[in-house]
Amino acid sequence: MEMTFGNAVMHETISQYALDGSKTEDLMDCDGIIDMTASVSNIEQLYWFRDGKDFSREMPPYVCYRNGYNAFAAPRIHLQMRHYTVPSLQNMRIFNANGHDATCVYYGCPPMYKKGDNPEFWKYFEEEFGLKKKEYFLFPHRPTADKGIDMVKQLASRFPNETFVLSAATPIAEHQAGLTKLLQEASTLHMENIKYCPIPMNPMHHYYKRELMRHAKAGLTCFDPSRYIEGFNLTNMEFVANGTPIIVTDSESSRELWVHGKDAIIVPYHLESFSAAIEKFSTYSFNCHNNYTTENYAKNYLNLLLNKYAVAPNVTQAARENDLSSPSPQQQSEMQSAQIQFPPRP
């Protein structure tokens, strides 16, 4: 079975950026398409390409992956044909409540993320930053308020004898500004227990990252639910697969995906709650185990492509000529009645 995974950034076209040299028309010959582009642009391009060439020809089975909890706007094709997949039941419920059909497909963790010890990669963190195994809390997320960078600073201030490590390296200006601000404040306040330990950006990057995760006391995932709804969080999955528990903000998805006391300590987003988790950390008996395999991930997508979306819905020409990219008045009314509360944008 032939499939293509689109993963271009926004505004990139298939013909320009496909690694195998594929052109838009080549997708019509695929047995299935999983579009993971930022704006689901591959399916959008294919839909309008077919419209201009041969509308009578059926689209191949496809799904449109959406990570965000309110990522309903793309692709710009008929609502009935968007075929959304999302990474959690929480996000599926939000999509459904807002008038959009969606199917939950949990991520699959690459098997390289597992318990173990590879000294050749750990040596870098030990020699370069003076880290010691199981003596630091790791915050590998983007250094922004919605992801909880302010909570990290408060915890470091409250626990001067604990080490808090940040590792995210990003080219995005907003993220760089957040990291710079935190490190400057830590320096001014002489908070030497906050360390920035960037992971080498080379072909061995994921092996270095794995060691940093393996040897942390715990991963810190202290997102602010008033600003951000966490759908899954790949990093949490990698922590747990590596045998490292997480301390995570309580939310619908946190309780769906992780087991309190086994994989995680799930606490409300309050300084006192996260502080209590750190104070009582040694009293927990964790038993981290990866429940999200690449085998199940692949099977679930194949099942969607071979069964649920094997035959595209019959969208009439009249329906296509109506509003293709925005909800109808009836759907807008349904969205309002659903009363889904989204966090305000920072």
Neighbours of 222 (CB within 10 A): 23
Tell me which residue range forms the domain holding 23: 3-108+295-338
Side-by-side strand order, sheet with 218-221: 194-196, 163-166, 136-139, 218-221, 246-249, 264-267
The whole-number pLDDT of residue 54 equals 62
The whole-number pLDDT of residue 10 equals 43
Q: Are residues 88 and 128 in the same domain?
A: no
Cα separation, 253 vs 249, in Å, equals 10
Kindly state whether residue 82 falls inside one of the protein's structural domains.
yes
The whole-number pLDDT of residue 53 equals 62
Q: Are residues 104 and 123 in the same domain?
A: no
DSSP assignment letter at 112: T
Q: Are residues 274 and 149 in the same domain?
A: yes
Tens-place pLDDT, residues 185-221: 888 888 999 999 999 999 999 999 999 999 999 999 9
Angle, vertex CA 271, rays to CA 268 and CA 272, nearest 5: 80
Cα separation, 214 vs 134, in Å, equals 9
Q: Are residues 65 and 146 in the same domain?
A: no
Kindly state whether residue 113 falls inside one of the protein's structural domains.
no
Q: Are residues 168 and 263 in the same domain?
A: yes
Q: Are residues 65 and 151 in the same domain?
A: no
Q: Are residues 178 and 217 in the same domain?
A: yes
Kindly state whether residue 114 falls inside one of the protein's structural domains.
no
Q: Label the pairing between strands 264-267 and 163-166.
A: unpaired
Helix axes 149-158, 173-188, angle to 10 degrees: 10
Q: Are residues 219 and 269 in the same domain?
A: yes
The whole-number pLDDT of residue 268 equals 97
The whole-number pLDDT of residue 59 equals 84
Angle, vertex CA 69, rays to CA 64 and CA 73, nearest 5: 55
Kindly state whether residue 16 falls inside one of the protein's structural domains.
yes
Map residue 282 onto helix, strand or coil. Answer: helix
Kindly state whether residue 289 falls inside one of the protein's structural domains.
no
Q: Are residues 71 and 129 in the same domain?
A: no
Q: Label the pairing between strands 218-221 and 246-249.
A: parallel
Cα separation, 238 vs 180, in Å, equals 26
Cβ(285)–Cβ(244) below 8 Å = no
Neighbours of 90 (CB within 10 A): 22
Please report, as a single letter, which amino acid is at residue 217.
K
Q: Are residues 275 and 300 in the same domain?
A: no
Neighbours of 116 (CB within 10 A): 11
Residue 174's alpha-carbon distances to 97, 103, 142, 170, in angstroms, are 32, 32, 10, 9
Q: Are residues 271 and 299 in the same domain?
A: no
Cβ(200)–Cβ(124) below 8 Å = yes
Cα separation, 220 vs 277, in Å, equals 11
Kindly state whether residue 182 falls inside one of the protein's structural domains.
yes
Is the pTM higher than 0.95? The answer reads no
Cα separation, 170 vs 157, in Å, equals 25
Buried b (16+ CB within 10 A) or exposed e, 278-316: beebeeeebebebebbeeebeebbbebbeeebeeeeeee
DSSP assignment letter at 322: S
Cα separation, 167 vs 200, in Å, equals 10
275 Cβ contact list (under 8 Å, min separation 6): 155, 158, 159
Kindly state whether residue 345 falls inside one of the protein's structural domains.
no
Kindly state whether residue 290 falls inside one of the protein's structural domains.
no
List, for the chain, all residue ranges whose pLDDT scores fall below the cut of 70: 1-22, 51-56, 311-346
Cβ(220)–Cβ(164) below 8 Å = yes
- List the CATH number of the domain containing 276: 3.40.50.2000
Q: Are residues 140 and 98 in the same domain?
A: no
The whole-number pLDDT of residue 329 equals 47
The whole-number pLDDT of residue 51 equals 64
Cβ(208)–Cβ(119) below 8 Å = no
The whole-number pLDDT of residue 250 equals 97
Tell the residue number behind the tokens 């008033």, with chain if given.
Answer: 226
Provide the number of structural domains found in the chain.
2
The whole-number pLDDT of residue 31 equals 87
